Amino acid sequence: MEIAFGILGQTAMLLHGKVDVKWAHPRSRQVLAALLTSPNQRFPVDAVVDWVWAEHENAPRGALATLHQNAVHLRQALQKSGIPARVGVGKNGCVVEIDEALVDHRAFARGMARARELRDRGDHRRAQIEAQAAVRLWRDDPLADLRTQRADDWRAQWTRGHWLPANAFLVAELLAVGHADVALGRLLELEHAHPLELSLAKLRLRALAATDRPDEVTEFYFAKRREYRDIGELRAADELRAVHDEVISGDGDFPRPAVQVRAVAAAEEPAGQAVWHVPPDCDGVEGRAELLAELDAFTSDSSGASRRGVVVVTGGPGVGKSTAVVRWAHRARRRFRHGVVLLDLRGDGQATSANSGEVVDTLLSLLDFPVDQVVNPVARAAKLSALLHQRSMLVILDNVRGREQVAPLLGVLDACTVLVVSRWRLPSLAATVSPPVVTVPPLAVPDATALLDRRIGRRARDDRAGVAELVRVCQGNPLALTLVADRAAARAGMLLSTLAGQLRDADMLLDLGYEGDALQRSLRAAFTASYQVLGPGERRALAVIGAHPGAEVTAEAVAAGDGRPLPAVRRSLDVLVAAHLLEHPSDLDRYRVHDLVHAYAASVAEQLADGSAVRRRLFDFYLVMAYDAHRLVFPHKPPPRLPVSRTHPGAGFGSAALARQWVVREKNLLLEIAAAGGSESAYLPALFAELITEMGFYADAVSCLTGAIRSIDEVLAEGGESVPELRQVLGSHLNDLAVVLMHMGEEGQAEHHLRRALALAETDGFPLGRIASTLNLARWHLRVGRAPEAAVLCRLALQVAYELAEPSLCAAAAHRLANALVAAGGFEQEALDLYAEALEHLWKSEDGTARLQIHTALAALLTDLGRLAEADDQCRRASELTPVCLNLPAVMKLNTVLARLRHRQGNARAALWYAHRAVELADRTRHATGQARALSTLAAILRDHGNREDARALWVQAAELYRGRARTRRAAEVEEFVAELDASEPVIPAARDGERDTVAMPPPRLRRNR
């Protein structure tokens, strides 16, 4: 088994064909180990901290920044090794994206699944080889680098659920192929670490018997049974006695053949042939290896013999529950000597469901018992129970509607292995008998692709792009994939991409497979079967979800659209979750609906009598929540306008932090609502665009603002009563769009929007709009190298702000004017005074971002003037504000100034750290000029410490960024540094004094921005 990463021991990486456990810094290895426990799954930041930092260690204060640093180290190691993996760290969590087959514990599980499949085919030799290969992946205690509670829990769970069963399986296969001595030796090693493990004790009895050691069999049995009884494990003692009795039943004869592992005398077999009542097997079931392995584990003991009990198999409509179970039944039939029976209980609503009496009669008939001889239903059930206690059988109850269908049967079938297959989660059954639950998920993309390849044939292999589109349309639903493949086969002349385009029509996709017959085989029929058994409240909740524009929704949003009280809606949502029509994937009050279910729910929503009112209430909910989020996050700013028909809402969030989190979670949904068009949708971007801009989501902000501007222009072209109000909203959007474009370095586009916004404000006599447009135009002049013009505009804006006597506006104008004067040169003292004035205006303000920006600008000027102690004080004040600042460009600029300041102070290590941090933030935000500024600062530091080659490369990259954004003056300044570097001879740095001047941090990996 070829792996790339291992956590079954110390965190290892395969480098140059060898396992290396010291391939990165220990903390970085610990972070990766935690993420590899669930590859391709996103971990919350707090969870990663709990995984990595033990209780006796101090968890990092800036956890996200610390994890970013470790992610950088991991990416460098991955790039060096050439392993196709990606480590992602952000506010929404941490993830490692990798082919799971390259991770040892996942490769272990797949290897054991193959071994069990070979065992079920009777190929014990190959099964033993596969199991041996999987077991060899274990190098030491799992997660040996981690000693936290989460790691301990995972380690214990993995050992109990995977390691011990795998070793028991291997020992059983060694016995089956006649290697009893090897099996016994392995058992002795395992029992030393797990002395009370019952499965190992059972196998040791069999191994001792197979090696002709009858005295040791009895001696070991009595000693181990006494141990179990002494600690109160009476059930374990009884099970051990049953195995002992079986082993010694051969009158002291202990042959080596595999049949001794699980032998039953022919005389004990009930009369008659084994019962086989199962549909034909389905060839080529894709992506269900782990599911089949789970069923193996829950229905067999460590020796491979069948285990009595109930297992629930559940999943949504069309996900392939019955198909997977039938496939597993064909594979596992050798384990059930007296037969396998699958009964359809018809609980999907298509016909009258089967009751317990019908099930009892059917099973009696299949066992050739004359049912008409017993009239009393209770007596029939008792007779069936007696017959089954003589047999080893598997009974599959398919299409179960609820607990009431199967609860009367559990006592009758207690001698069997029972699989309950249902599209419902059956929580009441779980509360009664606590069965293992196996959930059948949609197929992963590779498995869905393989299914289409197999069913469509050569056309699929020749049109990979078309297959990929079909896979996206079907969203992993096996029924949808099968129907699509059948349609493709029936339309041999149609391109697969054309078919995918047609199937983007939701109604066509839902009705695919319907051919006018009564027995429909379509997605709509599958979903309707679940819908018909819902109550009125649940049907309405599903329809509201269909009217909702996004695939994720909260209970509050559904209640707003539904109109019922929140507790009643929550109860309906719980029912939908139980029916697999809705998912509740986390501990947050958020629900997710599969795309195909959402398409069906949308068709249901079209039938609502009050459909338009439901959609209006949903829109109002998000409009009001976004308004309140803006009000809390920006309390110092005038609130944006709402449509005249809306009242100002009350508090929807407990704090500004919760409001920010809500905007991040709902960002994509808000963008979708804003893109819907119409005059009222155009109000929404003003409520959240500024916030997502500060978080660095520039492309999203541009998209929603551009769409809103287009919608307002269309409404204004038609006229209407709300035209004056919409003109002010339009001016606000134009200003906001221009600011985002300038952040992205698109100054040419920004100018057009700013001049249009200023013209609107002057025409309508709107002073706030005039100040905002004037200051943003000044910023634009400053960016294109026209500092004097910028200063003139800022003075005009400052005068208007004085007239309005609004502190925040005065502070903004003074700040911008100071920036312009610094850029113009020769006005340093006036700039210092203006920065101080701006801070004075904001003395009582909660606008931490504005204060941080002013402190940063003041620190930069003081650094240039050589007043380093004062600059240090300003940087300290700015740093104290970073926890409340979501404006990444502002934090990035602070890190750039700190790098320059520490460099001037002679602290090379700190200067490099801050420079790297600035580059990292610039890369995350795609802030073009910020990237250039950070790279140029880092280059200057590297040059002064003799790293000329990397300094030159960074300056060249910075110059390209400046020129790409039409910042020709700044580009020319940077190119002068390159020219000076090329013209001068390399200088050997002075000898370093110990560690004081050592520069150990490497430069960032150079990237070429296109």
| Strand duo 437-439 + 394-398: pairing | unpaired
Band of residue 429 on the pLDDT scale cut at 50, 70, 90: confident
Q: What is the DSSP letter of 641?
A: P
Which tens digit of pLDDT belongs to each residue from 442-476?
999 999 999 999 888 888 888 899 999 999 999 99
Residue 961 · residue 935 · CB < 8 Å? yes
Distances (CA, A) of 987 to 779, 935, 937: 40, 22, 20
| Strand duo 590-592 + 552-554: pairing | antiparallel
Give the CATH number of domain 524-608; options: 1.10.3720.10, 1.10.10.10, 3.90.1300.10, 1.10.1520.10: 1.10.10.10
Q: Could you please report the per-residue DSSP string of 960-1009?
A: HHHHHTT-HHHHHHHHHHHHHHHHSPP-PPPPP-TTTT---SPPPPP---
Cα 926 from Cα 944, distance rounded (Å): 27
Cα 446 from Cα 451, distance rounded (Å): 9
Confirm or reject CATH 1.10.10.10 for domain 1-177, answering yes or no.
yes
Band of residue 478 on the pLDDT scale cut at 50, 70, 90: very high
Q: Is the pLDDT of residue 854 over 90?
A: yes
Burial 97-127 (b: 16+ CB within 10 A, else e): ebebebbbbbbbbbbbbbbbbbbbeeebebb
Q: Give alpha helix (H) positions in 675-722.
A: 685-694, 698-718
3-state secondary structure of 397: strand
Q: Tell me, rounded to whole angstroms, the distance of Cα 408 from its chain centroid.
A: 40
3-state secondary structure of 399: coil
Q: How many CB atoms lie within 10 A of CB 133?
A: 16
Q: Is the pLDDT of residue 218 over 90?
A: no
For the record, the structure tokens of 101 come out as 């087959």
Q: How many CB atoms lie within 10 A of CB 989?
A: 12
3-class secondary structure per residue, 184-230: HHHHHHHHHHCCCCHHHHHHHHHHHHHCCCHHHHHHHHHHHHHHHHH
For the record, the structure tokens of 843 come out as 């003395």
Phi, psi of 591 (to 5 degrees): -120, 150
Q: Is the pLDDT of residue 129 over 60?
A: yes
Q: Is the pLDDT of residue 359 over 90?
A: yes
Q: Helix crossing, 180-193 with 164-176: angle to 10°?
A: 160
Cα 543 from Cα 289, distance rounded (Å): 36
Residue 10 · residue 139 · CB < 8 Å? yes
Mean pLDDT of 870-890: 86
Q: What is the pLDDT of residue 925?
A: 65
Q: Helix crossing, 164-176 with 104-120: angle to 10°?
A: 40
3-state secondary structure of 420: strand
| Strand duo 394-398 + 339-344: pairing | parallel
In this structure, the dihedral spanned by the alpha carbons of residues 202, 206, 207 and 208, taken in order and rounded to 10 degrees, is 100
Residue 79 · residue 133 · CB < 8 Å? no
Q: Is the pLDDT of residue 337 over 90?
A: no
Q: Tell me, rounded to whole angstroms, the distance of Cα 306 from its chain centroid.
A: 36
Q: Is the pLDDT of residue 516 over 70?
A: no
For the record, the structure tokens of 934 come out as 């950070």
**What is the percent of the chain where pLDDT is above 90?**
23
Q: Tell me, rounded to whole angstroms, the distance of Cα 945 from its chain centroid.
A: 43
CA angle 162, 168, 172 (to 5 degrees): 140
More confident residue, 680 or 105: 105
Q: Give alpha helix (H) positions in 367-426.
A: 377-388, 403-410
Cα 416 from Cα 391, distance rounded (Å): 8
H/E element, 803: helix 787-804
The reported pTM is 0.61
> What's the chain's length in residues?
1010
* Residue 724: burial class (beta carbons within 10 Å; 0-12, 13-18, 19+): exposed
Q: What is the DSSP letter of 906?
A: T
Q: Is the pLDDT of residue 653 over 80?
A: no
Band of residue 643 on the pLDDT scale cut at 50, 70, 90: low
Torsion sign, CA atoms 86, 87, 88, 94: positive
**What is the percent of the chain where pLDDT is above 70?**
89
H/E element, 92: none
3-state secondary structure of 118: helix
Cβ neighbors of 63 (< 8 A, separation 6 or more) are: 45, 46, 48, 49
Mean pLDDT (the chain, rounded): 83
Which amino acid, 832?
L
For the record, the structure tokens of 925 come out as 């935000």
Cβ neighbors of 798 (< 8 A, separation 6 or more) are: 810, 813, 814, 817
3-state secondary structure of 374: coil
Torsion sign, CA atoms 816, 821, 824, 828: negative
Cβ neighbors of 487 (< 8 A, separation 6 or more) are: 499, 512
487-496, 580-589, 710-719: which range is least confident on average?
Answer: 580-589
Q: Tell me, rounded to whole angstroms, the distance of Cα 231 from its chain centroid.
A: 43
Residue 337 · residue 274 · CB < 8 Å? yes
> Which of 293, 580, 290, 582 shows the shortest CA–CA distance to 447?
290
Which tens digit of pLDDT belongs to each residue from 775-821?
989 988 887 778 899 999 999 999 988 888 888 889 999 999 999 99
Cα 218 from Cα 596, distance rounded (Å): 61
Q: Is the pLDDT of residue 504 over 70?
A: yes
Which tens digit of pLDDT belongs to each residue from 306-334?
888 899 999 999 999 999 999 999 988 88
Which amino acid, 499?
L
Q: Give alpha helix (H) positions in 264-388.
A: 289-299, 321-332, 356-366, 377-388
> Which of 341, 488, 471 shows the shortest CA–CA distance to 419?
341
Which amino acid, 272?
G
Band of residue 1004 on the pLDDT scale cut at 50, 70, 90: very low
Q: What is the pLDDT of residue 545?
A: 94
Q: What is the DSSP letter of 398?
A: E
Q: Could you please report the per-residue DSSP string of 273-299?
A: PPEEE-PPP-TT--S-HHHHHHHHHHH
> Which of 879, 856, 954, 958 shows the shortest CA–CA distance to 912?
954
Q: Which of 335-349, 860-874, 940-954 has the highest mean pLDDT?
A: 860-874
3-state secondary structure of 271: coil
Q: What is the pLDDT of residue 763?
A: 85
CATH superfamily of 289-440: P-loop containing nucleotide triphosphate hydrolases (3.40.50.300)
Which amino acid, 442?
P
Q: What is the pLDDT of residue 597?
A: 92
